[in-house]
Structure 1
Amino acid sequence: MSVKESIERQIVKLPQGEPFTNTRFLRLGSRAAVDKAMSRLVEAGVIQRVARGVFVRPKQSRFVGVVMPDVSRVVEVIAKEHGETIQVHGAEAARRFKLSTQMPTAPVYYTSGPTREICIGKLKVRLVHTSSQRKLQHAGKRPGLALSALWYLGKNNISTEVVKRIKEGLSEEEFETLLSSRMPAWMSEVFRQYETGRVHG
């Protein structure tokens, strides 16, 4: 069986619309053989290339045709491939918690890896390096998203009202996780004021 046939057999078992990288097939042949086979499968329409080294089994919708995978899923796959930790950028995190109406012009993520730009389809995505482990806590989870939003808003723009809004967007358990996170003093202080206000309110 050729490398291409071996890979195709594996691919048909993968869920449609779920991104994957070509490295998962390296045990089936040399890098060059795998790359060539993937290119031929793209040409045949069996798979679609969504970013460099990232592919997907096309998912069809009768309303919009081919459905592209979620950008955050593609970024997660790329980050995992490079052993990086990624976190949604604060501007987008604040918008998701309805703390800001500003729409980032292009998706931005913090990463433990190098700062760079990647193309996902026609979309340019920026990965911005941060060496702060505190900014990458609970990456990919809602408490992490909340921390990202708080860092972005900064010392002068967070209040007990902001904490209240964030709490509304989290489950009890997620809020507890957020409270036990490593934070700068100015952030902890606002949470302390919020908790005190609830006790005395």
Structure 2
Amino acid sequence: MTTLPESIRLHARSLAEGCFLSPKEFLHLGSRAAIDQAFSRLAKSGDLLRVARGMYVAPVSSRFGTRSPSPEKVVRAFAEKSGEIVVSHGANSANALGLTQQVPTREIFLSSGRSRKLNLGRSVVTIKHAPQWMLALGSGPAGEAVRALAWMGQAHVNKSLGALHRRLSEADWDTLTSSRAALPSWMAKAIGQESLRG
């Protein structure tokens, strides 16, 4: 018969990289105390990583040893499980869109939910609550553009918009311009002016 820790370990290994396990999922196998103890032992032995309270992920094994799952995959799994909108931070968006050469050193994401930290071995992933207008266009290019502009700031908005207008597809630019009513005044005005330059 499979032991409780072994059942949890086997289930963890069957999941895709970054997917969460919660002690609540295993209540059919034993008492809450026994399950909590099994999770605690698996975390101590390195078979599981405790990401946050009641949230665990399996490390990824490869021929180079074990590593933490990728932050992007963990955050994607977190968004699916929590039902929150979670998108990349403006610094990442600005870098991805070629507005800055700066490569963010910390893993930060923006969310419709509350701010929190997820521990992934030696690294910490920060999820920050963001206003609705930063999340409204989702994770597509137009949404990335909004967050990049917010991060670049009002002083750099005109130069940034010129680069974005050249970079975004016509459809993505139209999505950005049609969302002006939801954006801060300074950003909406600058997008309108850039559209007139056409």
**Structure 1 length normalisation: TM-score?**
0.72
Considering fraction of residues, name the structure with more helix: 2
Distance in structure 2 (CA, Å) of the matches to 1:49 and 1:75: 14
Letter in 2 for 1:34: I
Paired AA for residue 162 in structure 1: S
SS of equivalent to 2:72: helix
Check the 8 A contact 1:22/1:35 in 2, yes or no.
Answer: no
Describe the superposition over 1:116-147 as per-residue Cα deviations: whole angstroms up to 9, x where unpaired.
444221113333333x2112223444432221
State the shift of 1:37 in Å. Answer: 3.1
Q: For each residue in 1:9-38, what CA deviation from the matched residue of structure 2 results, as whole angstroms up to 9, or x when unmatched? A: 5334323x3332325724534443333333
SS in 1 for 2:93: helix
Q: Give the 5 Å matches for 1:31-70.
A: 31-42=32-43, 47-49=47-49, 51-52=51-52, 53-56=55-58, 58-60=60-62, 62=63, 64-70=64-70
- Give the aligned length: 192
* 3-state SS of paired residue (1:151): helix
DSSP 3-state at the match of 2:119: strand
| Residue identity matched to 1:138 | L
Instruction: Specify every segment of 5 or more residues in structure 1 that has no aligned partner in the other structure, as ranges.
Output: none
- Output the CA distance in 2 between the equivalents of 1:138 and 1:37: 42
Relative to structure 1, the CA distance from residue 22 to residue 70 in structure 2 (aligned partners, 3 Å threshold; closer, same or farther) is same
Identity %: 29
Alignment of 1:187-198 (within 5 A): 187-198=187-198
Counterpart of 1:110, as a letter, is: L
- 1:152 equivalent to 2:151? Answer yes
* Aligned Cα root-mean-square deviation (Å): 3.2
Letter in 2 for 1:10: H
Name the CA shift for 1:140/1:67 in 2 (closer, same or farther; >3 Å).
Answer: farther
1:55, distance to aligned residue in structure 2 (A): 0.8
| Whole-angstrom CA distance in 2 between matches of 1:25 and 1:113 | 22
Letter of the structure 1 residue corresponding to residue 108 of structure 2:
V
Shift of 1:49: 0.9
Using the TM superposition, give the Cα deviation of residue 173 of structure 1 relative to its aligned residue in structure 2, in angstroms. 4.3
The aligned amino acid for 1:14 is L
| Counterpart for residue 176 of structure 2 | 178
Q: Quick check: 2:23–2:39 contact (8 Å CA) kept in 1?
A: no
- State the partner residue of 2:126: 126
